[in-house]
Amino acid sequence: MSTSQKVTAEKFVPVRASDIQLAQARISSEIAPTPLQYCPRLSEQTGCDVFLKREDLQGVRSYKIRGAFFAISNLSEEEKAAGIVTASAGNHAQGVAYACSTMGIKGKIFVPGPTPKQKRDRIMVHGGDMVELVVTGANFDEAAAAAHEDADARGATFIEPFDARDTVIGQGTVAAEIISQLSSQGRSLDTVIVPVGGGGLLSGVTSYLADMAPRTSIVGIEPAGAASLSAAFEADEPVTLDTVDPFVDGAAVKRIGQVPYTILDANRGRLHWDTVTEGAVSTELLELYQNEGIIAEPAGALSVTGLHKVNLRPGSTVVCIISGGNNDVLRYAEIMERSLVHRGLKHYFLVNFPQEPGQLRDFLANILGPDDDITLFEYLKRNNRETGAALVGIELGSAAGIDGLLERMEASRIDCRQLKPGTPEYDFLVA
């Protein structure tokens, strides 16, 4: 492990804008600036001038290449020769793979089982013969534990995805670009909204803006199913979450990094933070795709999702960082499903039909609304001659239609029970 990566809270050296500017100069030969695009739709919705920082347009489709490339470029020749190891939910791994291929370094990359196939394939495209991919563990933290064990056993150098000073410095170059791009338009940055997983990007952005734009409001947005920053601030130290929802895979981290936390805790007075549901993220993913033609991954849409929860001054300049675009097209069925449930358009019921002729016809004619549709119908069992239970999924014409649907169910002799998201029954039968 390099000296720059052996950073502890006790010996922590603050990250300054000058460190980030040096990193920007170091990586500029390999990593081109990404566009800062004005978004008319979100500007109209908020009454602000909203720009999208398109890190999804990086060569590896994520900002993660910045920290990975800078950290690896700082290794000694001996450390490079010993090989490198990393763990990642997918995006950091692509940055490491690219650096390995470019610098001629052997790398071993550990990713958890839920990592989308698209990300796994892209890791090998960028790394080629220079990297070995290992899929292990149910989440990032389990994959990271296996990676650390491997690095220790072989004497290889572990490249931290977020919990290292060099990685944070590299990620901070995103903020340096934003300030430069806005300055070229004669603008200053009022608010920046940043996705949060392990905290590397948020701490890098915060470090730069604390020196160069101290009046800027900094907002961190994390998924409700993996809110490690919120938990750390509540406990006044990093804590390990019991479970995480893997849907927002790029931010599904059980424990925020110690180095990012130290930076963010020191800047807590200039920070705002909040969580958004996975369903809300799904809705914004679809909005970005349908309106702006942006194929974001779930973590990449966190900032735009959080935009609607932030108290913004009308006319102010706001930047949302689209952190990544490594999304598997096979996931869009799940994304659509989560969005429909979030918007109140999709509901599930356990329906016990009396075993008499015409009961299904009665359900369709007298319970289902004229604009509603059955999207799932599955008999669960038939062990009773009186009733037959079915799992029924209904998509409403409008969210307001749920009240009428429930009233008609209550008035019917057909026994209907709504399944609520987050309950064991829902998770077992639907999720």
**What is the value of pTM for the model shown?**
0.90
pLDDT of residue 296: 96
Q: What is the Cα 324 distance to its own chain's centre?
A: 8
Residue 386 pLDDT exceeds 60? no
Average pLDDT over residues 375-382: 83
pLDDT of residue 168: 98
Residue 244 pLDDT exceeds 80? yes
Of the pLDDT bands very low, low, confident and very high (cuts 50, 70, 90), residue 385 is low
pLDDT of residue 353: 86
Helices 173-183 and 200-212: crossing angle in degrees, nearest 10, is: 50
Given the residues 230, 323, 339, 346, select the one marked as catalytic: 323
pLDDT tens, position by position, 68-124: 999 999 999 999 999 999 999 888 999 999 999 999 999 999 999 988 888 899 999
CATH topology of domain 65-164: Rossmann fold (3.40.50)
Average pLDDT over residues 26-30: 92
What are the structure tokens assigned to 136, written together?
A: 């292990």
Q: Please list the residue range(s) of the chain that carry CATH number 3.30.70.260.
A: 344-429
Q: 217 to each of 37, 347, 361, 391, how far by Cα in Å?
A: 20, 38, 57, 47
pLDDT of residue 6: 41
Average pLDDT over residues 234-247: 95
Q: Which of 145-159, 219-233, 374-388 has the lowest mean pLDDT?
A: 374-388
> Is domain 12-64+167-336 in CATH 3.40.50.1100, yes or no?
yes
Query: What region does 391 belong to: left with phi over 0, alpha with psi -120 to 50, or beta?
Result: beta
pLDDT tens, position by position, 124-174: 999 999 999 999 998 888 999 999 999 999 999 999 999 999 999 999 999
Higher pLDDT, 15 or 430: 15
Sheet containing strand 387-395, edge to edge, reads 373-381, 387-395, 346-354, 415-419
CATH topology of domain 344-429: Alpha-Beta Plaits (3.30.70)
Under 8 Å between Cβ of 63 and 323: yes
Of the pLDDT bands very low, low, confident and very high (cuts 50, 70, 90), residue 430 is confident
Residue 7 pLDDT exceeds 60? no
Active site residue 64: yes
pLDDT of residue 285: 97
pLDDT of residue 382: 59
pLDDT of residue 354: 83
pLDDT of residue 429: 83
Under 8 Å between Cβ of 110 and 144: yes
Under 8 Å between Cβ of 341 and 423: no
CA pair distance 157, 139, nearest whole angstrom: 22
Q: Which residues of 309-334 are buried (b: 16+ CB within 10 A; e: fewer)?
A: ebebeeebbbbbbbbbbbbbeebeee
pLDDT of residue 1: 39
CA pair distance 389, 348, nearest whole angstrom: 13
pLDDT of residue 379: 85
pLDDT tens, position by position, 326-361: 988 888 999 999 999 999 999 999 999 887 888 889
CA pair distance 430, 147, nearest whole angstrom: 34
Average pLDDT of every residue of the chain: 92
pLDDT of residue 4: 37
Residue 280 pLDDT exceeds 80? yes
Residue 8 pLDDT exceeds 80? no
CA pair distance 235, 239, nearest whole angstrom: 7
Q: Please list the residue range(s) of the chain that carry CATH number 3.40.50.1100.
A: 12-64+167-336, 65-164
Given the residues 53, 62, 64, 203, select the one marked as catalytic: 64
Q: Quick count: other Cβ atoms within 10 Å of Cβ 424?
A: 7
